[in-house]
Chain A
Protein backbone atom coordinates (compact mmCIF):
# COMPACT_ATOMS: atom_id res chain seq x y z
CA UNK A 1 0.00 0.00 0.00
CA UNK A 2 1.44 3.37 -1.00
CA UNK A 3 1.76 6.14 1.55
CA UNK A 4 -0.82 8.24 -0.23
CA UNK A 5 -3.59 5.62 -0.18
CA UNK A 6 -2.81 4.92 3.44
CA UNK A 7 -3.32 8.59 4.20
CA UNK A 8 -6.59 8.65 2.25
CA UNK A 9 -7.81 5.55 4.08
CA UNK A 10 -6.94 7.18 7.36
CA UNK A 11 -8.80 10.34 6.33
CA UNK A 12 -11.93 8.42 5.30
CA UNK A 13 -11.82 6.58 8.57
CA UNK A 14 -11.56 9.85 10.50
CA UNK A 15 -14.54 11.36 8.69
CA UNK A 16 -16.58 8.22 9.32
CA UNK A 17 -15.66 8.26 13.01
CA UNK A 18 -16.53 11.96 13.37
CA UNK A 19 -19.78 11.47 11.51
CA UNK A 20 -20.75 8.54 13.69
CA UNK A 21 -20.09 10.57 16.85
CA UNK A 22 -22.00 13.63 15.68
CA UNK A 23 -24.93 11.83 14.07
CA UNK A 24 -25.96 10.22 17.35
CA UNK A 25 -26.36 13.57 19.18
CA UNK A 26 -30.00 13.89 20.20
CA UNK A 27 -32.50 16.72 20.10
CA UNK A 28 -32.73 17.71 23.79
CA UNK A 29 -36.44 18.49 23.42
CA UNK A 30 -37.40 15.32 21.55
CA UNK A 31 -34.66 12.92 22.71
CA UNK A 32 -36.00 10.07 20.60
CA UNK A 33 -34.66 11.86 17.50
CA UNK A 34 -31.02 12.32 16.55
CA UNK A 35 -29.96 15.52 14.79
CA UNK A 36 -29.36 13.39 11.70
CA UNK A 37 -32.98 12.11 11.84
CA UNK A 38 -34.20 15.70 12.14
CA UNK A 39 -32.16 17.00 9.22
CA UNK A 40 -30.58 19.61 11.52
CA UNK A 41 -27.10 18.21 10.77
CA UNK A 42 -26.05 19.70 7.44
CA UNK A 43 -22.37 18.78 6.97
CA UNK A 44 -19.21 17.46 8.61
CA UNK A 45 -15.68 18.11 7.40
CA UNK A 46 -12.47 16.83 8.92
CA UNK A 47 -9.24 18.63 8.08
CA UNK A 48 -5.98 16.70 7.78
CA UNK A 49 -4.92 17.99 11.20
CA UNK A 50 -8.05 16.44 12.74
CA UNK A 51 -10.04 19.68 13.14
CA UNK A 52 -13.72 19.00 12.66
CA UNK A 53 -16.13 21.51 11.15
CA UNK A 54 -19.81 20.85 11.64
CA UNK A 55 -22.69 22.85 10.13
CA UNK A 56 -26.12 22.71 11.72
CA UNK A 57 -29.34 24.57 10.98
CA UNK A 58 -32.00 25.63 13.49
CA UNK A 59 -35.57 24.37 13.07
CA UNK A 60 -37.11 27.72 14.12
CA UNK A 61 -35.39 31.11 14.55
CA UNK A 62 -35.87 31.01 18.31
CA UNK A 63 -35.24 27.30 18.85
CA UNK A 64 -33.53 27.18 22.27
CA UNK A 65 -32.27 23.65 21.56
CA UNK A 66 -29.77 24.81 18.96
CA UNK A 67 -27.18 26.09 21.45
CA UNK A 68 -27.44 22.88 23.47
CA UNK A 69 -27.06 20.84 20.29
CA UNK A 70 -23.90 22.76 19.42
CA UNK A 71 -22.47 22.04 22.86
CA UNK A 72 -23.45 18.35 22.70
CA UNK A 73 -21.75 18.00 19.31
CA UNK A 74 -18.47 19.30 20.74
CA UNK A 75 -18.79 16.92 23.69
CA UNK A 76 -19.51 13.94 21.44
CA UNK A 77 -16.54 14.79 19.24
CA UNK A 78 -14.25 15.23 22.25
CA UNK A 79 -15.24 11.79 23.51
CA UNK A 80 -14.42 10.34 20.09
CA UNK A 81 -10.97 11.95 20.27
CA UNK A 82 -11.60 15.11 18.25
CA UNK A 83 -10.66 17.92 20.61
CA UNK A 84 -10.66 20.64 18.00
CA UNK A 85 -14.19 21.19 16.73
CA UNK A 86 -16.07 24.16 15.29
CA UNK A 87 -19.85 24.23 15.06
CA UNK A 88 -21.38 26.73 12.68
CA UNK A 89 -25.05 27.63 12.30
CA UNK A 90 -26.33 28.04 8.76
CA UNK A 91 -29.73 29.57 8.01
CA UNK A 92 -29.93 28.99 4.28
CA UNK A 93 -31.49 26.95 2.86
CA UNK A 94 -34.12 27.20 5.60
CA UNK A 95 -34.77 23.98 7.46
CA UNK A 96 -37.84 22.06 6.41
CA UNK A 97 -39.53 18.95 7.80
CA UNK A 98 -38.99 17.47 4.33
CA UNK A 99 -35.42 16.79 5.55
CA UNK A 100 -36.64 14.54 8.36
CA UNK A 101 -35.70 10.92 7.64
CA UNK A 102 -38.30 8.16 7.33
CA UNK A 103 -36.66 6.50 10.35
CA UNK A 104 -37.12 9.77 12.22
CA UNK A 105 -40.81 9.90 11.34
CA UNK A 106 -41.31 6.31 12.49
CA UNK A 107 -39.50 7.05 15.77
CA UNK A 108 -41.69 10.11 16.38
CA UNK A 109 -44.87 8.11 15.84
CA UNK A 110 -43.71 5.37 18.21
CA UNK A 111 -42.94 8.11 20.77
CA UNK A 112 -46.54 9.39 20.56
CA UNK A 113 -45.94 12.44 18.35
CA UNK A 114 -47.68 12.60 14.98
CA UNK A 115 -44.95 13.14 12.34
CA UNK A 116 -45.26 15.96 9.78
CA UNK A 117 -47.89 15.01 7.21
CA UNK A 118 -46.95 15.35 3.56
CA UNK A 119 -44.54 17.86 2.05
CA UNK A 120 -43.90 21.40 3.25
CA UNK A 121 -46.35 23.94 1.84
CA UNK A 122 -48.57 26.73 3.11
CA UNK A 123 -51.46 24.23 3.26
CA UNK A 124 -49.41 21.75 5.25
CA UNK A 125 -48.01 24.47 7.55
CA UNK A 126 -51.51 25.56 8.44
CA UNK A 127 -52.46 21.98 9.37
CA UNK A 128 -55.03 21.59 6.65
CA UNK A 129 -53.86 18.06 5.82
CA UNK A 130 -55.55 15.25 7.74
CA UNK A 131 -53.45 14.22 10.72
CA UNK A 132 -53.37 10.60 11.85
CA UNK A 133 -53.53 9.85 15.59
CA UNK A 134 -50.17 8.32 16.66
CA UNK A 135 -51.96 6.24 19.31
CA UNK A 136 -54.78 4.49 17.42
CA UNK A 137 -54.22 5.41 13.76
CA UNK A 138 -57.57 7.16 13.31
CA UNK A 139 -57.84 10.17 10.99
CA UNK A 140 -60.78 11.46 12.98
CA UNK A 141 -58.72 14.15 14.70
CA UNK A 142 -58.98 17.88 15.39
CA UNK A 143 -56.59 20.69 16.17
CA UNK A 144 -56.75 22.05 19.73
CA UNK A 145 -54.03 24.68 19.46
CA UNK A 146 -51.72 25.92 16.71
CA UNK A 147 -48.86 26.02 19.19
CA UNK A 148 -47.55 23.32 21.51
CA UNK A 149 -44.91 22.59 24.10
CA UNK A 150 -42.09 23.48 21.70
CA UNK A 151 -41.85 25.75 18.65
CA UNK A 152 -42.05 22.80 16.26
CA UNK A 153 -45.27 21.27 17.56
CA UNK A 154 -49.03 21.90 17.63
CA UNK A 155 -51.60 20.34 19.95
CA UNK A 156 -54.17 17.92 18.54
CA UNK A 157 -56.88 15.61 19.86
CA UNK A 158 -58.14 12.26 18.59
CA UNK A 159 -61.92 11.97 18.47
CA UNK A 160 -61.76 8.17 18.15
CA UNK A 161 -59.58 7.24 21.14
CA UNK A 162 -60.09 10.60 22.94
CA UNK A 163 -56.35 11.02 23.54
CA UNK A 164 -54.60 14.37 23.04
CA UNK A 165 -51.34 14.29 21.09
CA UNK A 166 -48.55 16.52 19.79
CA UNK A 167 -48.26 17.04 16.06
CA UNK A 168 -44.88 17.92 14.56
CA UNK A 169 -45.80 20.85 12.31
CA UNK A 170 -45.02 20.51 8.63
CA UNK A 171 -42.87 23.51 7.75
Chain B
Protein backbone atom coordinates (compact mmCIF):
# COMPACT_ATOMS: atom_id res chain seq x y z
CA UNK B 1 0.00 0.00 0.00
CA UNK B 2 1.27 3.44 -0.87
CA UNK B 3 2.20 5.59 2.07
CA UNK B 4 1.00 9.15 2.53
CA UNK B 5 4.10 9.91 4.62
CA UNK B 6 6.74 12.19 3.16
CA UNK B 7 10.40 11.35 2.91
CA UNK B 8 12.90 14.13 3.22
CA UNK B 9 16.62 14.77 3.51
CA UNK B 10 17.68 15.27 7.13
CA UNK B 11 20.14 17.98 8.12
CA UNK B 12 21.11 19.61 11.41
CA UNK B 13 19.39 22.87 10.60
CA UNK B 14 16.21 21.14 9.45
CA UNK B 15 16.16 19.04 12.60
CA UNK B 16 16.52 22.10 14.81
CA UNK B 17 13.79 24.01 12.97
CA UNK B 18 11.48 21.00 13.28
CA UNK B 19 12.12 20.80 17.05
CA UNK B 20 10.92 24.38 17.49
CA UNK B 21 8.06 23.95 15.01
CA UNK B 22 6.83 20.69 16.58
CA UNK B 23 6.96 22.15 20.10
CA UNK B 24 4.79 25.05 18.93
CA UNK B 25 2.35 22.91 16.92
CA UNK B 26 1.82 20.23 19.57
CA UNK B 27 1.39 22.72 22.43
CA UNK B 28 -0.84 24.90 20.25
CA UNK B 29 -2.96 21.85 19.52
CA UNK B 30 -3.11 20.90 23.20
CA UNK B 31 -4.21 24.41 24.22
CA UNK B 32 -6.85 24.52 21.51
CA UNK B 33 -8.47 21.50 23.21
CA UNK B 34 -9.52 23.93 25.95
CA UNK B 35 -11.60 25.98 23.52
CA UNK B 36 -15.14 25.98 24.92
CA UNK B 37 -14.07 24.16 28.12
CA UNK B 38 -11.99 26.66 30.09
CA UNK B 39 -13.11 27.58 33.63
CA UNK B 40 -14.18 31.09 32.58
CA UNK B 41 -14.83 32.86 29.31
CA UNK B 42 -11.84 35.21 29.57
CA UNK B 43 -9.55 32.22 30.05
CA UNK B 44 -11.18 30.36 27.19
CA UNK B 45 -10.28 33.30 24.97
CA UNK B 46 -6.79 33.59 26.47
CA UNK B 47 -5.88 29.92 25.89
CA UNK B 48 -7.26 30.05 22.35
CA UNK B 49 -5.20 33.19 21.70
CA UNK B 50 -2.02 31.57 23.00
CA UNK B 51 -2.78 28.50 20.86
CA UNK B 52 -3.18 30.77 17.83
CA UNK B 53 0.17 32.46 18.45
CA UNK B 54 1.85 29.06 18.73
CA UNK B 55 0.24 27.63 15.60
CA UNK B 56 1.25 30.84 13.80
CA UNK B 57 4.85 30.41 14.95
CA UNK B 58 4.70 26.76 13.86
CA UNK B 59 3.52 27.81 10.38
CA UNK B 60 6.46 30.17 9.89
CA UNK B 61 8.86 27.52 11.13
CA UNK B 62 7.43 24.75 8.92
CA UNK B 63 7.56 27.11 5.96
CA UNK B 64 11.23 27.66 6.70
CA UNK B 65 11.77 23.91 7.19
CA UNK B 66 10.40 23.34 3.69
CA UNK B 67 12.77 25.98 2.31
CA UNK B 68 15.75 24.46 4.12
CA UNK B 69 14.89 20.96 2.94
CA UNK B 70 14.61 22.27 -0.59
CA UNK B 71 12.90 19.44 -2.47
CA UNK B 72 9.59 21.24 -2.98
CA UNK B 73 7.73 20.11 0.15
CA UNK B 74 5.43 22.61 1.88
CA UNK B 75 4.62 23.61 5.47
CA UNK B 76 1.60 21.29 5.40
CA UNK B 77 3.74 18.29 4.47
CA UNK B 78 5.90 18.82 7.52
CA UNK B 79 2.97 19.50 9.83
CA UNK B 80 0.72 16.65 8.73
CA UNK B 81 2.57 14.03 6.76
CA UNK B 82 5.31 12.71 9.02
CA UNK B 83 5.29 9.59 11.18
CA UNK B 84 5.19 9.86 14.97
CA UNK B 85 8.90 9.04 15.35
CA UNK B 86 9.74 11.94 13.03
CA UNK B 87 8.22 14.54 15.37
CA UNK B 88 10.93 16.31 17.33
CA UNK B 89 8.91 18.04 20.06
CA UNK B 90 9.86 17.77 23.73
CA UNK B 91 7.81 15.48 25.96
CA UNK B 92 6.57 18.41 28.09
CA UNK B 93 4.31 19.87 25.39
CA UNK B 94 2.63 16.56 24.55
CA UNK B 95 1.48 15.95 28.13
CA UNK B 96 -2.31 15.95 28.46
CA UNK B 97 -3.99 19.16 29.63
CA UNK B 98 -5.05 17.62 32.95
CA UNK B 99 -6.84 20.18 35.09
CA UNK B 100 -6.43 23.93 34.65
CA UNK B 101 -3.50 23.95 37.11
CA UNK B 102 -1.59 21.37 35.05
CA UNK B 103 -2.16 23.37 31.85
CA UNK B 104 -0.93 26.55 33.54
CA UNK B 105 2.15 24.87 35.06
CA UNK B 106 3.08 23.36 31.67
CA UNK B 107 2.67 26.80 30.07
CA UNK B 108 4.85 28.57 32.63
CA UNK B 109 7.64 25.97 32.36
CA UNK B 110 7.62 26.09 28.55
CA UNK B 111 7.11 29.84 28.08
CA UNK B 112 9.91 30.67 30.54
CA UNK B 113 12.23 28.57 28.36
CA UNK B 114 11.04 29.94 25.03
CA UNK B 115 11.13 33.53 26.29
CA UNK B 116 14.87 33.14 26.85
CA UNK B 117 15.34 31.10 23.68
CA UNK B 118 13.65 33.54 21.28
CA UNK B 119 15.36 36.53 22.81
CA UNK B 120 18.74 34.99 22.08
CA UNK B 121 17.64 33.78 18.66
CA UNK B 122 17.02 37.41 17.65
CA UNK B 123 20.77 37.80 17.15
CA UNK B 124 21.12 34.57 15.14
CA UNK B 125 23.33 34.58 12.05
CA UNK B 126 20.39 32.93 10.30
CA UNK B 127 18.28 35.91 9.20
CA UNK B 128 15.07 33.91 8.79
CA UNK B 129 15.24 32.49 12.31
CA UNK B 130 16.16 35.91 13.72
CA UNK B 131 13.10 37.42 12.00
CA UNK B 132 10.76 34.76 13.41
CA UNK B 133 12.28 35.26 16.85
CA UNK B 134 11.64 39.00 16.61
CA UNK B 135 7.92 38.34 16.37
CA UNK B 136 7.72 35.36 18.70
CA UNK B 137 9.60 36.89 21.62
CA UNK B 138 6.92 39.51 22.32
CA UNK B 139 4.19 36.90 22.10
CA UNK B 140 6.08 34.50 24.37
CA UNK B 141 6.80 37.19 26.97
CA UNK B 142 3.08 37.84 27.07
CA UNK B 143 2.28 34.12 27.46
CA UNK B 144 4.74 33.85 30.33
CA UNK B 145 3.32 36.86 32.09
CA UNK B 146 -0.23 35.58 31.73
CA UNK B 147 0.44 32.00 32.86
CA UNK B 148 2.81 33.19 35.60
CA UNK B 149 0.09 35.41 37.10
CA UNK B 150 -2.31 32.49 37.03
CA UNK B 151 0.20 30.21 38.71
CA UNK B 152 0.63 32.73 41.53
CA UNK B 153 -3.14 32.98 41.91
CA UNK B 154 -3.50 29.18 42.02
CA UNK B 155 -0.51 28.46 44.25
CA UNK B 156 -1.32 31.26 46.65
CA UNK B 157 -5.08 30.61 46.45
CA UNK B 158 -7.22 28.05 48.23
CA UNK B 159 -5.92 24.82 49.75
CA UNK B 160 -7.38 22.95 46.80
CA UNK B 161 -5.84 25.18 44.10
CA UNK B 162 -2.50 25.15 45.92
CA UNK B 163 -2.46 21.38 46.10
CA UNK B 164 -3.40 20.98 42.45
CA UNK B 165 -0.69 23.42 41.36
CA UNK B 166 1.95 21.66 43.47
CA UNK B 167 0.87 18.24 42.19
CA UNK B 168 1.07 19.44 38.59
CA UNK B 169 4.51 20.94 39.19
CA UNK B 170 5.74 17.68 40.78
CA UNK B 171 4.41 15.63 37.86
CA UNK B 172 5.65 17.88 35.05
CA UNK B 173 9.06 18.68 36.49
CA UNK B 174 10.63 15.47 35.12
CA UNK B 175 9.98 16.75 31.59
CA UNK B 176 11.94 19.99 32.03
CA UNK B 177 15.43 18.47 31.81
CA UNK B 178 14.88 17.75 28.14
CA UNK B 179 14.57 21.47 27.34
CA UNK B 180 18.26 21.95 28.13
CA UNK B 181 19.56 18.80 26.47
CA UNK B 182 22.37 19.79 24.16
CA UNK B 183 23.08 17.03 21.64
CA UNK B 184 25.42 17.38 18.65
CA UNK B 185 22.76 19.24 16.66
CA UNK B 186 22.08 21.91 19.31
CA UNK B 187 25.77 22.23 20.14
CA UNK B 188 26.90 22.48 16.55
CA UNK B 189 24.39 25.14 15.60
CA UNK B 190 25.08 27.07 18.81
CA UNK B 191 28.79 27.07 17.99
CA UNK B 192 28.18 28.42 14.52
CA UNK B 193 25.98 31.24 15.87
CA UNK B 194 22.76 29.94 14.32
CA UNK B 195 20.88 29.05 17.51
CA UNK B 196 21.09 29.69 21.26
CA UNK B 197 23.04 27.22 23.38
CA UNK B 198 20.16 25.53 25.24
CA UNK B 199 22.42 24.23 27.99
CA UNK B 200 23.43 27.76 28.92
CA UNK B 201 19.78 28.81 29.33
CA UNK B 202 19.14 26.56 32.33
CA UNK B 203 20.53 28.97 34.93
CA UNK B 204 18.49 31.91 33.63
CA UNK B 205 15.43 29.68 33.41
CA UNK B 206 15.72 28.78 37.08
CA UNK B 207 16.13 32.46 37.88
CA UNK B 208 12.99 33.36 35.91
CA UNK B 209 10.96 30.69 37.68
CA UNK B 210 12.18 31.24 41.24
CA UNK B 211 10.27 34.48 42.03
CA UNK B 212 7.06 33.15 40.42
CA UNK B 213 7.20 29.91 42.41
CA UNK B 214 8.11 31.76 45.59
CA UNK B 215 5.15 34.11 45.25
CA UNK B 216 2.95 31.12 44.42
CA UNK B 217 4.19 29.39 47.62
CA UNK B 218 5.15 26.37 45.52
CA UNK B 219 8.14 24.17 46.17
CA UNK B 220 10.63 23.30 43.45
CA UNK B 221 10.46 19.51 43.13
CA UNK B 222 13.52 17.33 43.60
CA UNK B 223 13.44 15.02 40.61
CA UNK B 224 15.56 11.87 40.95
CA UNK B 225 15.84 11.69 37.14
CA UNK B 226 14.67 13.52 34.02
CA UNK B 227 12.58 12.05 31.20
CA UNK B 228 14.04 12.24 27.73
CA UNK B 229 13.43 11.06 24.17
CA UNK B 230 11.21 13.57 22.38
CA UNK B 231 14.02 15.25 20.44
CA UNK B 232 14.97 11.92 18.90
CA UNK B 233 11.38 10.92 18.19
CA UNK B 234 10.74 8.64 21.18
CA UNK B 235 7.40 9.91 22.41
CA UNK B 236 4.76 8.95 24.94
CA UNK B 237 1.61 7.28 23.63
CA UNK B 238 -0.17 10.66 23.82
CA UNK B 239 1.39 11.81 20.54
CA UNK B 240 -0.34 9.03 18.61
CA UNK B 241 -3.73 10.35 19.68
CA UNK B 242 -2.77 13.94 18.91
CA UNK B 243 -1.56 12.97 15.42
CA UNK B 244 -4.66 10.91 14.72
CA UNK B 245 -6.65 14.08 15.29
CA UNK B 246 -4.23 16.45 13.53
CA UNK B 247 -3.43 14.32 10.51
CA UNK B 248 -6.78 12.75 9.75
CA UNK B 249 -7.68 15.04 6.88
CA UNK B 250 -4.30 15.11 5.14
CA UNK B 251 -3.96 11.33 5.49
CA UNK B 252 -7.42 10.70 4.06
CA UNK B 253 -7.23 13.37 1.35
CA UNK B 254 -3.52 13.95 0.70
CA UNK B 255 -2.74 17.36 -0.83
CA UNK B 256 -6.20 18.72 0.01
CA UNK B 257 -6.20 22.53 0.04
CA UNK B 258 -8.87 25.17 0.48
Q: Which residues of A line the B interface, CB within 8 A?
A: 58, 60-64, 90-95, 122, 125-126, 144-149, 151, 155, 171
Contacts and interface: CB of A to CB of B under 8 A. Distances in A.
Residue in A62, A90, A122 with the greatest tally of chain B CB atoms within 10 Å: A62
B42 A125 contact: no
B108 interface: no
Nearest to B138: A171
Contacts of A144: 42
Given A91-B135, A93-B134, A147-B45, A62 B54 contact: yes
Contact of A147 (B54, B138, B141, B146): B146
Given A61-B60, A126-B145, A149 B134 contact: no
A171 B145 CA distance: 14
Given A60-B139, A92-B130, A145-B45, 13 more contacts: A58-B135, A60-B53, A61-B53, A61-B136, A94-B131, A95-B135, A122-B141, A126-B145, A144-B42, A145-B42, A148-B49, A149-B45, A155-B42
Given A60-B139, A146-B46, A94 B134 contact: yes
Contacts of B142: 125-126, 146
B132 to A, nearest CB: 6
A133 B142 CA distance: 23
Contacts of A92: 127, 130-131, 134
Given A91-B60, A146-B142, A151-B52, A60 B42 contact: no
Contact of B135 (A60, A64, A149, A155): A60
Nearest to B24: A61
A97 to B, nearest CB: 11
B55 interface: yes
23 contacts: A61-B53, A61-B56, A61-B57, A62-B54, A64-B52, A91-B131, A91-B135, A92-B130, A92-B134, A93-B134, A94-B134, A94-B138, A122-B141, A125-B138, A144-B42, A145-B46, A147-B45, A147-B46, A147-B49, A147-B146, A148-B45, A151-B49, A151-B52
Interface of B: 42, 45-46, 49-50, 52-57, 59-60, 127, 130-132, 134-136, 138-139, 141-142, 145-146
Contacts of A62: 52-57, 59
A38 B60 CA distance: 21
Given A91-B60, A92-B130, A146 B145 contact: yes
Nearest to A59: B135
A151 B53 contact: yes
A146 B59 CA distance: 24
